[in-house]
Structure 1
């Protein structure tokens, strides 16, 4: 199709918008949902800065369209929303109707519509893509972006956006919002059903291996599962008496982790990796990697632990 030209062609520069001033909505909550999606928002001149701010959490996929100039671009925007929805918060779709918000398009020097732009940390994460992409092309683009982010250790997600609260719900503002993907696993943990939580998190990981939150939940649930009914004193005595026993050392590392002694847990297993050999060394290493996943790859203690593990291995 013929693309509709817009005004002021030129390079897009968002460098001055990388850290916009916070608004009352806060990061990750730019507005109510749109088009029936939990991860799409209509971008207006009023909420534009907040939408940009939310890209500090995870990428925002901006779609510029014009119902009056290029009517089919509205359908394209809907296709992008549907594609983004499938990623459960890895992306937020920001829909910019340039007829309703011309100042945004002018300030970003959008040369034509439709146009897709991925924003991360307030800046373009890739070259803007003009024209209409087919659904499979959108899926490929998002999949490549998701894989690249995961490889860089960027696994955070947007929280599902909520529509305006119904009348009478004012007293619920302080209650934490539970991501519906993990609700069943969290309910199981609240009911002391650790095995059920492991099963629920495993189901999520099997369905989407790139779901870092589910993987972290599974790792922590497995720690809880391994330590059920364990006598802390007896476990520590056994580990002290058998410093090279992998099972004894990994059990105490689990207990240390649950007790908040994260660095101690990591150091115990790094030292064991340094001393062990063969299958026992690999068992200790794999166990340590599981504890890294439970704590979270962005945690500075995990970063230190990984450096120490690399030193022990090589």
Structure 2
């Protein structure tokens, strides 16, 4: 993110006018003392195509960070807890709006979310691109510090109090039930970047309960994270282009594409590879397709289409 000149009007390449649900309200004037100028139920909120207009208006009081994510996106699951943690430490000066791109196609299109996780800020109703992909916590802190400076330069420097259902007083009622021990172990391992330990925990959970859908989904996601750990997309694409028959090279690019939100591209690459290979060499590609189907979700339309194509190639 680059800093505009002080007092500049922020402008972005994204047209959000169609997402407004009501006329813009005048911006609230921040109090010089730093006291709250408004309140919200929570500093972290799920936002939909229908409710996004409220977020646009809120961005006239404090900067709003928009986290575009999807349930099947492994890097999103790495980044979201970091965003929530940093927002929580900023004492109501920033709000986090989470957008599930699969459930909210209008917002996904408006923000041109070609790769996720994608993080954008709104300041005074104007979009400010921040970053794409999972980034370390320290980098998130640095970007948020710059965002607060840019927002202040543009007259958006309020602070919100947290009340209502998301307040600490209601924390006992709002608290989620604790994770099963093996799931908790897997989450801890993921946070520490120890993917093999997380894989082992999920595999043990499935051995104890083969019907544990959460463990099965988590296992697929963490296996994907483990495979792409340290991989560079450009280098992987170059290697795959030079060796189109190299199964491992094609599998890696498909993994990277899917983790970045390019689901159809990942499936198309593997289906084309499957069709081109001799029958006795297809098994690894079929297994990877089934893994990625599980990561995205069996009910997803893209998975249903790809399953249909795979079935036609098999029979």
Q: What TM-score, normalized to structure 1?
A: 0.44
Q: What TM-score, normalized to structure 2?
A: 0.44
Larger radius of gyration: 1
